[in-house]
Amino acid sequence: MATGWAPEGAVQDQIDATINDAVQTARTAIPSGKSVTHCEECDRPIPVARQKAVPGVKFCIHCQEAMEKEQQEYELFNRRGSKDSQLR
């Protein structure tokens, strides 16, 4: 595949970097530690089953879903794309 001025293997390096970033983001999003009994956002009680299933949980399901939806709205573009890929 022609890559313009990019060095050999640049496309694979870009793919690897994107995957590594996604894995790191997922790992940092995993809660840890002791779960709270009430949501930090709305103060609703968090069910014991959720506290056991997700150690370190800080938000109720409703607030967690709202935050994840809001976060997804801002992650639409691959900012690591090479100049060549952005010009196509």
Does residue 60 form part of some domain?
Answer: yes
- Kindly tell me if the per-residue pLDDT of 36 is higher than 70: yes
Does residue 3 form part of some domain?
Answer: no
Mean of the per-residue pLDDT values for the chain?
Answer: 81
Does residue 48 form part of some domain?
Answer: yes
Does residue 56 form part of some domain?
Answer: yes
Parent domain of 61: 28-76
**Residue where the block lists tokens 């956002």:** 41
Does residue 51 form part of some domain?
Answer: yes
Mean pLDDT of 25-48: 90
Number of separate domains in the chain: 1
Selection from 85, 87, 77 nearest residue 10 by Cα: 85
Contact criterion met (CB below 8 Å) for 28 and 39:
no
Does residue 33 form part of some domain?
Answer: yes
Q: What residues contact 20, with CB distance under 8 A and at least 6 apart? A: none
pLDDT band at 45 (very low <50, low <70, confident <90, very high): very high
Burial class (CB in 10 A: 0-12, 13-18, 19+), 60: buried
